[in-house]
């Protein structure tokens, strides 16, 4: 049988308020991650590695840096009819912006009509993971379902933080969609686990269009994919779950198989970076069989200088990007993005430093995130005294991570 024609729609319009101040000047999917990447690079890499090369990215909130990243990095061959394009809110149905994720697609149905796909893959833009969506599409086609929802196995005790998929006795048909339940039923094959929705969906095109039209006519709807469209199709008995644990991505290891992180909070964003720094990474960026693509800046290789017992430039259990200079400072369990400068006698411990941040001589940065172009003055401290950090106007997460906003200067 011929392969189905697949259109990818990536939902990238979220404001990401829980990641503030990192989202004060950019959309959540444009937030840098892992040194060289942006969050949207993970979903786009998964789709492209699978051979799905016609993708529209629906944007809305502070989208300039996201649009620029997509248009300069993710260029496909027009000769073959492939494209990855940002699509802003266009007010095609009247003078209003997107009212929710379902409304974003409904207002952009011209993209679906123009492409005429058999299958529409609707994925979120702000998760860190590897996935081969071809396997999910294959199950969807074979099952005859109208929609297939990717489900992540999580302990029942943690279900209260997720939208939970309740399946029937066959373990695949979705019988209910439960929003942050306190005592959900376990899975048929694993009573102590539940399926948490990953926010990734595969639709048969006609089912998607029909559901969006009905939802648009419902004045009481929130026009949300997970909150309204999926429950509608569950009620119609045409929704199925795809077990993410069954997804076999080339090149994955036993340690990072099934890795998925929703980095929607400052603490989860920080911990996902720490996953990268482990000796045996929980998420392995070095998988060449399923690479994460991005635009690499034209900067020289990283450099470490000064070899003195009291002034040695070093980095241990850390990710160091190109253009970084570690000049007599010490870096441990940290991620340094392009252009970062770490000066003599400074200490960086469990920190994420975004592009062009500079740490002055004798400064200390610990349990902290520094946004782009932050300047830490000589002798200053960030993350050491949380109360002082708050008094200086810096954000401190519930988990105790200090975040310094873009372009700020930290003084002693």
What is the C-alpha separation between 288 and 33, in angstroms, rounded?
18
C-alpha to C-alpha distance for 26 and 249, rounded to whole angstroms: 31
Read off φ and ψ for residue 164, nearest 5 degrees: -105, 135
**Can you tell me which residue has the tokens 């648009």?**
216
374 burial type by CB count under 10 A (0-12 exposed, 13-18 middle, 19+ buried): buried
**Closest-CA residue to 131 (of 108, 117, 148):** 148
Q: How far apart are CA 370 and CA 353, in angstroms?
A: 5
| Encoded tokens for 166 | 């309740």
Contact 324, 308 (CB under 8 A): no
Q: What is the pLDDT of residue 312?
A: 93
Minimal CA–CA distance to 215: which of 116, 109, 88? 109
String of DSSP letters for 384-403: S-HHHHHHTT-EE-TTS-EE
Classify the phi-psi angles of 354: left when phi > 0, otherwise alpha if psi is within -120 to 50, otherwise beta: beta
Q: Residue 356, SS3?
A: coil
Distance CA 351, CA 369 (A): 6
> Residue 319: enclosing H or E segment and its boundaries?
strand 319-320
* Vertex 196 angle, CA 293 and 9, to 5°: 40
Domains of the chain: residue spans and CATH: 6-270 (3.90.550.10), 303-410 (2.160.10.10)
Per-residue pLDDT, 372: 97
Which tens digit of pLDDT belongs to each residue from 282-298? 899 999 999 999 999 99
* pTM of the predicted model over 0.85: yes
pLDDT averaged per 10 residues in sequence order, the chain, 412 residues: 89 86 93 96 97 94 90 89 89 72 92 96 95 97 96 90 88 89 87 92 97 92 89 94 96 90 94 92 92 94 92 95 97 98 97 98 98 97 97 96 97 88
For residue 390, what is the DSSP state? H
Supply the pLDDT for residue 85: 93
The total number of residues written for the chain in this structure: 412
Which residues, 6+ apart, have CB-to-CB distance to 158 below 8 Å? none
pLDDT for 330? 97
- Phi, psi at residue 269, to the nearest 5°? -65, -45
Q: For 103, left (φ over 0), alpha (ψ -120 to 50), or beta?
A: alpha
* Cβ-based neighbour number of residue 77 at 10 Å: 9
**Residues flagged as binding site for alpha-D-glucose 1-phosphate:** 163, 179-180, 197
Q: What is the model's pLDDT at position 53?
A: 96
Give me the pLDDT at residue 47, please.
98
CA-to-CA dists, residue 401 to 212, 266, 373, 386, 405, angstroms: 40, 8, 19, 8, 13
Looking at residue 378, its pLDDT comes to: 97
Contact present, 287 and 251 (Cβ < 8 Å): yes
Rounded distance, CA 67 to CA 65, Å?
A: 6
Are the C-beta atoms of 84 and 70 separated by less than 8 Å? yes
Residue list, annotated binding site: 163, 179-180, 197
* φ, ψ of residue 20 in degrees (nearest 5): -60, 140
Residues 6+ apart with CB under 8 A from 189: 171
Q: Position of tokens 């000066």?
A: 343
């Amino acid at each position: 049988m011929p392969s189905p024609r697949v259109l990818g729609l990536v939902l990238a319009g979220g404001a990401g308020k829980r990641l503030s101040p990192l989202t004060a000047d950019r959309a959540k999917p444009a937030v840098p991650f892992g040194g060289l990447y942006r969050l949207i690079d993970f979903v786009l890499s998964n789709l492209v590695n699978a051979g799905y090369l016609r993708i529209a990215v629906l944007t809305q909130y502070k989208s300039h840096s996201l649009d620029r990243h997509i248009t300069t990095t993710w260029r496909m061959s027009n000769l073959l009819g492939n494209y990855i394009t940002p699509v802003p809110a266009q007010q095609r149905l009247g003078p209003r912006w997107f009212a929710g994720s379902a409304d974003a697609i409904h207002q952009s149905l011209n993209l679906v009509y123009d492409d005429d796909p058999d299958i529409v893959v609707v994925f979120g833009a702000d998760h860190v993971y590897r996935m081969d969506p071809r396997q999910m599409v294959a199950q969807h086609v074979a099952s005859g379902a109208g929609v297939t929802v990717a489900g992540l196995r999580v302990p029942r005790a943690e279900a209260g933080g997720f939208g939970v998929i309740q399946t029937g006795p066959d373990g695949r048909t979705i019988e209910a969609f439960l929003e942050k339940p306190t005592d959900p039923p376990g899975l048929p094959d694993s009573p102590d686990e539940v399926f948490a929705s990953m926010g990734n969906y595969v639709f048969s095109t006609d089912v998607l269009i029909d559901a969006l039209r009905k939802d648009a006519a419902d004045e009481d709807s929130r026009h949300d994919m997970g909150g309204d469209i999926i429950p509608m199709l569950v009620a119609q008995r045409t929704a199925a779950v795809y077990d993410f644990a069954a997804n076999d991505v080339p090149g994955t290891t036993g340690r990072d198989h099934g890795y998925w992180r929703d980095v929607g909070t400052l603490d989860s964003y920080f911990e996902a970076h720490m996953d990268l720094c482990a000796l045996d990474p929980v998420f392995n960026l070095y998988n060449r069989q399923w690479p994460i693509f991005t635009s690499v800046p034209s900067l020289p290789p990283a450099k470490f200088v000064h070899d003195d017992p009291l002034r040695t430039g070093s980095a241990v259990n850390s990710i160091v990007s190109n253009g970084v200079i570690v000049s007599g400072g010490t870096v441990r369990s940290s991620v340094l993005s392009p252009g970062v400068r770490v000066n003599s006698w400074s200490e960086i411990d469990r920190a994420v430093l975004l592009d062009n941040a500079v740490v002055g001589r004798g400064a200390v940065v610990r349990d902290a995130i520094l946004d782009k172009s932050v300047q830490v003055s000589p002798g200053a401290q960030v993350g050491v005294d949380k109360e002082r950090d708050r008094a200086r106007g810096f954000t401190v997460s519930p988990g105790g991570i200090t975040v310094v906003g873009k372009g700020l200067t930290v003084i002693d």
